[in-house]
Amino acid sequence: MGRVDLDGEIVRRILVGSWRQEPAAVSFSEEELTRALPRLRGSGAGSLTWWRIRKTSLSSTKSASELLQTYKYNTLISAVREAEIVNAFVKFREHGIEPLLIKGWSAARPYPEPGLRPYGDIDLVVRNQDLEKAEAVRQSFGDKKFSIDLDHSEITTLDHRTVDEFFERSTLAPLNGTTIRVLSPEDHLRVIAIHTLKHGVWRPLWLCDIAAAVEKRPSDFDWEYCLGKDTRQRRWVLSAIRIANELLQANISGTPATTTKELPWWLKPTILKEWAAPYSAKQEYNRHEAPMMSYLRKPAGLIRDLKNRWPNPIAATIDLGGQINALPRLPFQLGNCFLRTARFVMNLPKALGRPEKTVSSESA
């Protein structure tokens, strides 16, 4: 196993069972913890790591002291985030809009303590007829420290269910004296599974979210509804659950995932490579040297920059609606490149009419 894979493997072993009230005994050394510390903290898993080691001999190490500070900070920030969520819901409801919260705070609910699962953006879904008005409300918050995100392709593009269907099964959860509309447990697991795959499983915390949601599911959890009738999406969700089981030892007993095939040969190495550098800045959509639009005028450097745009094989598969199986991923990665190029060309006339600085680096 190469150096990059080894770093990802250490992250994997450290996070095994970390979302549980009483995590399993550690199977890593102080040296490995120190080595993985920047990756764990940088990917949002610092608090979970402290939770994993808090009752072990590693709790007296320098790394543990840093992780404890991360946990304390995230605990404080979680209270701030909760107040911001309530504020957002109040504001939207004042304008006659009922939002639906996904990911973030919802993903943190199954964890033993709020500070174990940090989150930043407030991810909201609104009904189609409320989109224009909701965007105006979102912009009215101005330059606040939190960001409201209304664009979620895992619901609007990748899932066959309609927004109205998600609302129909949604429930109200208490928060700070009010109620917050959240997805049903079945839809929550479905959404975070597709979201994780859509982003190539580069962030280990997302896999912990899946593990926690599966292990904390209610006794009347409806697997048939969760998986849905679309064969492709059923396999996506089951694959995500199986990945959480094989990499982080999530307990999947009593789930349909126990009968799925073993993970394909290329999947684990892909994820461990991502976990060797699980930072947003290292992801394909952030590591471009320059926007594609700039190369129309100054083509120098385009070839060098193409390697930074090479897609994660998992993300490319999901983007093209493919299956996670043992077939080679190169056709999906090439197809993803062609698709993004086509999107760029289609948006070119509109983009040429704008100042260059407004063109997103994600245009292609």
Q: For residue range 322-333, what is the model confidence (pLDDT) as tens digits?
A: 999 999 999 999
Inside any domain, residue 281: no
Pair (169, 215) in one structural domain: yes
Inside any domain, residue 137: yes
What residues contact 320, with CB distance under 8 A and at least 6 apart? 332, 335, 336, 339
Q: Please state the rounded mean pLDDT for residues 103-110.
A: 96
Residue in this structure with the two tokens 């543990």, named with its chain if needed: 64
How many CA within 13 A on the CB side of residue 306? 10
At residue 293, the pLDDT reads 55
At residue 290, the pLDDT reads 56
pLDDT at 360 over 50: no
Rounded-to-integer distance, Cα 338 and Cα 101, Å:
34
At residue 117, the pLDDT reads 96
pLDDT at 204 over 90: yes
pLDDT at 355 over 80: no
At residue 282, the pLDDT reads 74
At residue 272, the pLDDT reads 96
Predicted TM-score of the model (pTM): 0.90
At residue 309, the pLDDT reads 79
Burial class (CB in 10 A: 0-12, 13-18, 19+), 38: middle
Pair (188, 236) in one structural domain: yes
B/e letters for 247-258, b = 16+ CB within 10 Å, e = fewer, are bbebebeebebe
Q: Please state the rounded mean pLDDT for residues 98-117.
A: 96
Pair (142, 104) in one structural domain: yes
Higher pLDDT, 357 or 55: 55
Do residues 309 and 284 make contact, with C-beta atoms less than 8 angstroms apart?
A: yes
Inside any domain, residue 171: yes
Inside any domain, residue 282: no
Pair (14, 139) in one structural domain: yes
What's the structural domain count of the chain? 2
Most confident of 157-161, 242-246, 298-302: 242-246
pLDDT at 349 over 80: no
The H or E element containing residue 149 is strand 148-149
Inside any domain, residue 363: no
Pick the last residue of a domain from 229, 246, 275: 275
CA angle 56, 59, 62 (to 5 degrees): 145
Pick the last residue of a domain from 220, 245, 275: 275
Start-to-end C-alpha separation, the chain: 33
User: Residue 353, Cα to own-chain centre: how many angstroms?
Assistant: 34
Inside any domain, residue 283: no
At residue 286, the pLDDT reads 62
pLDDT in tens, 274-318: 999 998 887 766 655 555 555 556 665 556 666 777 899 999 999
Pair (90, 227) in one structural domain: yes
Inside any domain, residue 331: yes
Pair (174, 244) in one structural domain: yes
Pair (105, 240) in one structural domain: yes
pLDDT interval class at 359 (50, 70, 90): very low
Pair (295, 321) in one structural domain: yes
Of 164, 150, 163, give the one whose Cα is nearest residue 88. Answer: 150
Do residues 190 and 228 make contact, with C-beta atoms less than 8 angstroms apart?
A: yes
At residue 362, the pLDDT reads 35
Rounded-to-integer distance, Cα 127 and Cα 115, Å:
31
Pair (144, 232) in one structural domain: yes
Out of 102-106, 156-160, 214-218, 267-271, least confident range: 156-160
Pick the last residue of a domain from 225, 240, 275: 275
Higher pLDDT, 72 or 339: 72
In the chain, count of helices (H) and strands (E)? 17, 5
pLDDT interval class at 125 (50, 70, 90): very high
pLDDT at 151 over 70: yes
Do residues 158 and 194 make contact, with C-beta atoms less than 8 angstroms apart?
A: yes
Do residues 293 and 351 make contact, with C-beta atoms less than 8 angstroms apart?
A: yes
pLDDT at 73 over 50: yes
Pair (246, 342) in one structural domain: no
pLDDT at 221 over 70: yes
Q: Please state the rounded mean pLDDT for residues 21-30.
A: 94
pLDDT at 168 over 60: yes
Inside any domain, residue 103: yes
Could you tell me the two tokens for 54?
Answer: 């808090």
Give me the domain span that covers residue 345: 288-358
Pair (152, 197) in one structural domain: yes
Rounded-to-integer distance, Cα 12 and Cα 18, Å:
10
Of 131, 242, 106, give the one whose Cα is nearest residue 184. Answer: 106
Q: Please state the rounded mean pLDDT for residues 89-105.
A: 96
pLDDT at 364 over 80: no
Q: Which residues pair with 182 in a beta bridge?
A: 101, 171
At residue 294, the pLDDT reads 58
Q: Please state the rounded mean pLDDT for residues 45-61.
A: 97
What residues contact 52, with CB distance under 8 A and at least 6 apart? 14, 15, 17, 18, 23, 26
Pair (153, 271) in one structural domain: yes
At residue 44, the pLDDT reads 96
pLDDT at 47 over 80: yes
pLDDT interval class at 234 (50, 70, 90): very high
